[in-house]
Amino acid sequence: MTVHEFDVAVIGGGLMGSAIAWGLAKAGQRTAVLDEGDIAYRASRGNFALVWVHSKGLGLAPYSAWTMRSSNAWADFADQLKQQTGVDVAFERPGGFHLSLSQAELEARASMMGRLQSQPGMQRFDYEIVDRDRVKAALPQVGPEVVGASYSRFDGHCNSLRLFRALNTGMQQLGVSYLPERRVESIAHESGEFRLVTARGEVRAAKIVLAAGIDNGRLGAMAGLDVPVRPQRGQIIVTEKVAPFMPYVVQNLRQTDEGGIMIGDSVEEAGADPAVTAPVIAVLAERAVRKFPLVAKLNVVRTWAALRVMTQDGFPIYDESTRCPGAFAASCHSGVTLCAAHALFLAPQIARGHLSADDFAPFSARRFDVQAAAA
Ligand SMILES: Cc1cc2nc3c(=O)[nH]c(=O)nc-3n(C[C@H](O)[C@H](O)[C@H](O)COP(=O)(O)OP(=O)(O)OC[C@H]3O[C@@H](n4cnc5c(N)ncnc54)[C@H](O)[C@@H]3O)c2cc1C
């Protein structure tokens, strides 16, 4: 019998890789996580921390259902992390608003939500298009330009830096070997075993999971997996802490559990450049003040930019390799929202060695071949 150093080696220790490794260890797999380290591009340290449901899935109905499944599992997941590690990731699901600043914006929002809900195969969920009075009753500090919103009771948020810490601590408590400063340079597959080559030596495993963010494209080519992802920049502002005034989550503007207001997040095709730019920050601030005028009085304590891991149609990729059996890939741009699903539903299937078609066929990168053929 071949002796593998590990049952599974996960490449990438961001939220995706850590959630999967945590779930693999829970399933009894001897797991290693190889991570490039803190200087790497890492969406997991710069995100907006929404666990957002209500506008996800236009163009791919199973993505809406997958998001809802993760959101429904989040409270239990957060509880498991707290029981295990003592870290409270501050998950709440108070419901979420997407505010509109003009009638045209509100109509476009209502139309988008209508199209989303009426797609074939859609598992419909409750949402509402609400007028200004309803918004004002829920969020009394809202500004005079807000004309209405879409609302769903399923949206929530967490403290995603604490989530990252809880997963890193939790997976190591479960026996995962966390190997930082181990950028995987190349992958070889021989005699049913994977060899991962790093500057600090090789790691061998029976299975591998590519969870290396925007490096998944390069790595995938070495393991028979097509993972077309690109960086997409998002900029965020955070203010000083203030007394709670937002009992709900608002997309692009939320009050953290610690009191600061996060304002975000831009969507920019800027390549792999995580720079903060004044014109974009100015637009984010201006729209935030129109939504909540009291924000104008708050001091900004920090701005930052981070790179999303974006697929070409914006939906996740979960795949297993036919050329190199035992190689899996996972990429998505909503890794906070989907964290519970990655840990609780995706990881056990990787542990078993196969992704079920029912759950994962819609998310294979093979969909891009169909889209290309149809174009
Ligand atoms: C501005 C912004 C706002 C966001 N807001 C939200 C939100 O509100 N809600 C939500 O659900 N999601 C949000 N996201 C997305 C979320 O942060 C990501 O989906 C998630 O963090 C992706 O995690 P990841 O582990 O796939 O990638 P990353 O965090 O990028 O991590 C990749 C990891 O792989 C490692 N790595 C890379 N190459 C190699 C290699 N060759 N060998 C070994 N290791 C390697 C790196 O060290 C890194 O740790 C946001 C993202 C951004 C940028």
Please tell me the distance from the alpha carbon of residue 116 to that of residue 121, in angstroms, as a whole number: 11
Within 8 A by CB and 6+ apart from 190, the residues are none
pLDDT (tens digit per residue) in 111-137? 999 999 999 999 999 999 999 999 999
Cα(42) to ligand 1 centroid in Å equals 5
- Whose Cα sits closest to atom 22 in ligand 1? 335
Cα(204) to ligand 1 centroid in Å equals 24
What's the pLDDT score for residue 189? 97
Q: How many CA atoms lie within 13 Å of 27's alpha carbon, on the beta-carbon side? A: 22
Cα(306) to ligand 1 centroid in Å equals 9
pLDDT < 50 stretches in the chain:
1-2
Please tell me the distance from the alpha carbon of residue 194 to that of residue 4, in angstroms, as a whole number: 9
- Exposed, middle or buried: residue 325 (CB in 10 Å: 0-12, 13-18, 19+)? middle
First to last CA, the chain: 48
What's the pLDDT score for residue 4? 61
What's the pLDDT score for residue 2? 46
Cα(8) to ligand 1 centroid in Å equals 20
What's the pLDDT score for residue 32? 98
Give me the DSSP letters along 65-101.
HHHHHHHHHHHHHHHHHHHHH------B---EEEEES
Rounded to the nearest angstrom, the gap between the alpha carbon of residue 290 and the centroid of all alpha carbons in its chain is 28
What's the pLDDT score for residue 371? 66
Whether 10 lines ligand 1, by a CB cut-off of 6 Å, is: no
Residues present in the chain in total: 375
Beta pairing, strands 201-210 & 6-11: parallel
Q: What distances in angstroms separate CA 58 from CA 45, 54, 113, 334, 345, one per listed residue?
A: 27, 10, 8, 15, 23
What's the pLDDT score for residue 373? 65
Whether 56 lines ligand 1, by a CB cut-off of 6 Å, is: no
pTM (two decimals): 0.97
